[in-house]
Each structure stands twice: as C-alpha cells, then as structure tokens.
C-alpha cells in the first residue's frame, strides 16, 4: 500500500475562519511533509516531521500550524489566512529524511475568500 490520503479534497474558507487539513499514511514512513503548490509552479516545502518531531519549518507564517499526532497522521491547522494562500496543499511521506523517494497525497485545493 503506497497511498497517502488527504482530506478534504477541496476547501473554501474566509479570512477569519479556522480549518484543518488532514493527511494519513500507513506505509510505516517516519518522515512526513507539507508542501504548497501554486498553478504552474513546483511544490514548495513548508514543514518536515521526522519521527513525529518538527525538524524543518521553512519560515512559514504562523497562520499555518502543523501537528503530528502520531506516526501515521499529519495535520495542518489554518487560521486567518490571506487570499494569496490559495493553493494546492500537498502532503507527502518517505521512509526517512534521507530518502529522495517521497509519496504524495492527492492534495487539498484551498481557496481563501
């Protein structure tokens, strides 16, 4: 099973809302990632969790708050977002941080109004 699942698939939220994105993998991977991708652009790394601990935060604004409740789950809590935060948010996982083989979920298409 090489599947990473993400919910919801689509999300529309106002600038004052609070919402969460969820990601799950059951491959026993120990590293999990959040990426942001704008149209016709490459994925941009936001956060890396390794063994359930935050190892990299790419200077992401505090309105994005990651959480790793256990080795299979990754959440991204959203609060007071801006319209420019509208993008595809991708979750990925890999066996460890030193592996170039990452498995991506289908993403959450986020629109901030």
Dihedral of CA atoms 41, 46, 50, 52 in degrees, nearest 10, equals -130
Residue number, 17 or 71, with CB nearest to other proteins: 71
List for the chain the helix, strand, coil content (%; round to 5). Answer: 5, 55, 40
28 binds other proteins (CB under 8 A): no
Binding mask 35-74 for other proteins (x = CB under 8 A): -----xxxxxx--x-x----xx-x----------------
98 binds other proteins (CB under 8 A): yes
Q: What Cα–Cα distance (Å) separates residue 94 from each residue in 16, 35, 69, 97?
A: 34, 14, 17, 7
Q: Which residues bind other proteins (CB under 8 A)?
A: 31, 33, 40-45, 48, 50, 55-56, 58, 90, 92, 96-107
């Amino acid at each position: 099973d090489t599947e990473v699942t993400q919910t919801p698939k689509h999300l529309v939220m106002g600038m004052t809302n609070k919402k969460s994105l969820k990601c799950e993998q059951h491959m026993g991977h120990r590293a999990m990632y959040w990426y942001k991708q704008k149209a016709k652009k490459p994925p941009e790394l936001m956060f890396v969790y390794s063994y359930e601990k935050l190892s990299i935060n790419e200077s992401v604004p505090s309105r994005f708050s990651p959480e790793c409740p256990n080795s299979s789950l990754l959440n991204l809590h959203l609060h007071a977002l801006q319209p420019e935060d509208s993008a595809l948010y991708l979750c990925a996982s890999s066996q460890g941080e030193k592996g170039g083989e990452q498995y991506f979920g289908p993403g959450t298409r986020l629109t901030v109004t």
